[in-house]
Structure 1
Amino acid sequence: MSQQHKKSVKVFAPATVANVACGFDIIGLALDGVGDEMELRLGDTPGVRITAIEGADLPLEAAQNVAGVALLAMLQEYGQPETGIEVVIRKRIQPGSGIGSSAASAAGAVAGANILLGNHFSPEELVPFAMEGERLACGTPHADNVAPAIMGGFTLVRSYQPLDVIRLHTPADLWVTVIHPQIEVKTSDARGILKQQVLLKDAIRQWGNVGALVAGLYREDYQLISRSLEDVIVEPIRAILIPAFYDLKLRCREAGALGGGISGSGPSVFMLSKGEENARNVAAMMEQIYAPLGVDYKIYVSRISTSGVKEM
């Protein structure tokens, strides 16, 4: 539905958790209150200009920046070559953190520009544009970060060819705790160590967990969600990249977490909990485990955002 065009807009683009345990490359969720801020305005010069980036050393050239690439794809589809977009990016998510830094930039850019264009595109139509930013960032145009960043809540990528993204139910009392060790794991490197073939018995177990996780979300069955948060394919390989990973998982469950796993390609680790009290107890346990390790870290305790990118 179109509306009167604005000249400028400020948006908040949420951090995201992708590869939600069993949901490698297909299930993601958006965080509430953790994310990037962006300002976009209609420009006098056709094309995309990134005028400033605060908080990270990233390219200003549109074709080399995930936000710029996403916007260029969007403007090409928009089909009015005289249109110009100017962007200021305020990075609050550290690149390589595993909580969707590149996705926030790409999703925030296209969602913000869409407001300037009178909401010409639906949220679902924005996802492929943002995926082009992910292609630049890691070589693969995956959607499990950008889809929840744009659409909010939990999202499921049913298919990539053709793209079919489904917004799932988010239980009201489901919270997420994330620890971000201050080490960098590049998504391209983390994908490079993965096996290209899996055993049939592992695939069957993974499929069962994915189906049960979706059912648990809709039924708000926290114990079913807990049993489903198991990854037998990717996590065993990537766990070596994250300090104290298995100790963290075990002791966080003892502290009240339903379960969790590696956020995106790491190094962040997420845990889901029923209720804020459990989520904060999990945060305290994370701190107890990481404080002696000599690794700097940040911990976030958050509801799951059901709005995605939003105007400030």
Structure 2
Amino acid sequence: MKAIKVFAPATVANVSCGYDVLGFAVNAPGDEVIMQLNDSGKVTLESITGDDGRLPRDPARNTVSAVVINYLQALGVEQGISIELHKKMPFGSGLGSSAASAVAGLIGINELMGAPLSREQLLPFAMEGERLACGNAHADNVAPALIGGLVLIRSYNPLDVVKLPVPASLACALVYPHVEIQTKEARQILKTHIPLHDAVTQWGNVAGLVAGFCMNDLGLISRSMQDVVIEPVRAMLIPYFYELKEIALHQQALGFGISGSGPSVFALCTGLQTAQRVVDAISARLSEAGIQSTTFVSEINQNGPLITSMQPALD
């Protein structure tokens, strides 16, 4: 029976001012899924590692297997599949953990079925995985995890997703402070109404950020990485957020913000060396405050998920 191993990357959602409409993929961390066809006629979740027993083992309730079930039902196919999920990124980190699992599962099953759907056609299935995980079918993690690069969700209804160009010199500094924030809770604290002048400021920044990427204008990207809507609310959940922001900008980061719902923070930088200086300085400050952290430095991942093995059977 055919088997496949897939890696799907972490993602940075929102990119400061683009709440629910912008996100990009990084090279690490990410999740790994191993899937194998069998004759059972059902989807089974054989094992999960790296979750400390926290994820549901019921295939209908776990993101990675639920999206596979939905995919097979949509295609009208009864096929036995065994799934192993290896979590290699933290929960509640703001790095798109559930999105990575869903995307890895979808890429795996689609390849095993002969790749009848494009990655864009897989996106609605991945979004439903997000609904299962956090109650909202947002696409700013799953779209870049699935397609790679920097992605704009221009519209949710109808779904319209655009992959944007990224300056080749751009690098991302990521710091995950070891405190946990649940995405569902981080959404619940957000305001449902905002002043018009804040909306106007935010629109200008989103438009400027997109223009900066398209024009390869690092200065415009830097000026546009300002969030007057979401960041002021969520910053209170992240220890020393504004101090960390000052540290990143002092180290010549182009801009600094919250990755997804946090607590991870990110900075866009010119080059990997600058990104390394940023994560070193931020992690040192957190360590002084008695807070452990994990850091990552990465270029923008333009390819998204990676099939690392596909063969008749895996040992």
TM range (shorter): over 0.9
- Asked if structure 2 preserves the Cα contact closer than 8 Å seen for 1:256 and 1:281, the reply is no
Bigger CA drift: 118-127 or 6-15? 6-15
Match of 1:154 in 2: 150
Q: Take 1:306 and 1:300, find their aligned partners in 2: how far apart are those partners? A: 17
Partner of residue 264 from structure 1, selected from 260, 272, 289? 260
Q: Take 1:222 and 1:43, find their aligned partners in 2: how far apart are those partners? A: 50
1:68 and 2:65 aligned: yes
Deviation at 1:108, TM superposition (A): 0.7
Correspondence list, 1:122-137, <5 A: 122-137=118-133
Partner of residue 6 from structure 2, selected from 8, 11, 19? 11
1:42 and 2:70 aligned: no
Q: Take 2:166 and 2:274, find their aligned partners in 1: how far apart are those partners? A: 17
Partner of residue 28 from structure 2, selected from 27, 30, 33? 33
Match of 2:229 in 1: 233
Q: Take 1:188 and 1:280, find their aligned partners in 2: how far apart are those partners? A: 31
Paired letter, 1:54: T
Deviation at 1:178, TM superposition (A): 0.7
Q: Take 2:232 and 2:149, find their aligned partners in 1: how far apart are those partners? A: 27
For residues 203-241 of structure 1, the C-alpha deviation after alignment (integer angstroms, 9 at most, x for no partner) is: 111111111111111111111110111110000000000
Deviation at 1:43, TM superposition (A): 2.3
Gapped regions of structure 1 (runs ≥ 5): 1-5
SS at match of 2:296: strand
Deviation at 1:181, TM superposition (A): 0.8
Match of 1:144 in 2: 140
Match of 1:23 in 2: 18
Deviation at 1:85, TM superposition (A): 2.1
Match of 1:85 in 2: 81
Q: Take 1:35 and 1:183, find their aligned partners in 2: how far apart are those partners? A: 19
Match of 2:190 in 1: 194
Q: Take 2:298 and 2:95, find their aligned partners in 1: how far apart are those partners? A: 13
- Asked if structure 2 preserves the Cα contact closer than 8 Å seen for 1:70 and 1:131, the reply is no
Deviation at 1:74, TM superposition (A): 1.1
Q: Take 2:301 and 2:189, find their aligned partners in 1: how far apart are those partners? A: 31
Correspondence list, 1:101-250, <5 A: 101-250=97-246
Q: Which runs of 4+ in 1 moved over 2 A?
A: none
Match of 2:311 in 1: none
- Asked if structure 2 preserves the Cα contact closer than 8 Å seen for 1:73 and 1:132, the reply is no
Paired letter, 1:60: R
Paired letter, 2:277: N
Q: Take 2:275 and 2:74, find their aligned partners in 1: how far apart are those partners? A: 42
Paired letter, 2:75: Y
Instruction: Give the TM-score normalised by structure 2.
Output: 0.95
Bigger CA drift: 285-294 or 297-306? 285-294
SS at match of 1:210: helix
- Asked if structure 1 preserves the Cα contact closer than 8 Å seen for 2:28 and 2:296, the reply is no
Q: Take 1:47 and 1:171, find their aligned partners in 2: how far apart are those partners? A: 45
Identity of aligned residues (%): 48
